[in-house]
Amino acid sequence: MTVIVTDRGFADDDWVEGAALDLPTSTDPETLRGQLAGVTMVRVQFPSFADGRGFTLARQIRRMGYVGRLRATGPLIADQYAMARRAGFDEVEIPPDLAVRQPEPQWLARANWQAHDYQSRLRA
């Protein structure tokens, strides 16, 4: 079973069956035009924490007007949580062994993602 990370910490997956779309990070967002209507969840599958293409894909999906649930899934690390949220992801799905190596407090330390970006620090 996987672990879902949100701004409130770890949670069980509450997703119920519905129209979901699973995308690899190599997906060309132009191929999604007209296909997102009726899709209630898009999961972007990161093959490793070193593959950042999923962040760009998430941002492009949001710019296309997608307002449904957007989930990053795969071996992302806690340090990437704020970036994932700023890119447009609502949540991150991680494997249980990663949740053991990087427990909930490490993820929660990045949950205030809106206040800790570069531009906010410049404005202060």
Give the start-to-end residue ranges of the domains of the chain.
Answer: 3-11+20-28+38-123
**DSSP single-letter state for residue 29:** G
Report the alpha-carbon distance of residue 84 to residue 54 in Å, rounded: 9
pLDDT tens, residue order, the chain (124 aa) = 899 999 999 999 999 888 889 999 999 999 998 889 889 999 999 999 999 999 999 999 999 999 999 999 999 999 999 999 999 999 999 999 999 999 999 999 988 866 655 666 666 6
Q: CA-based angle 102:104:109, to the nearest 5?
A: 95
Name residues whose C-beta falls within 8 Å of residue 33's C-beta, 6 or more positions apart in sequence. 64
Distances in Å between the Cα of 43 and the Cα atoms of 38, 56, 120 are 14, 14, 29
Report the alpha-carbon distance of residue 57 to residue 48 in Å, rounded: 15
8 Å CB contact between 5 and 79: no
Q: Look up the pTM and report it.
A: 0.88
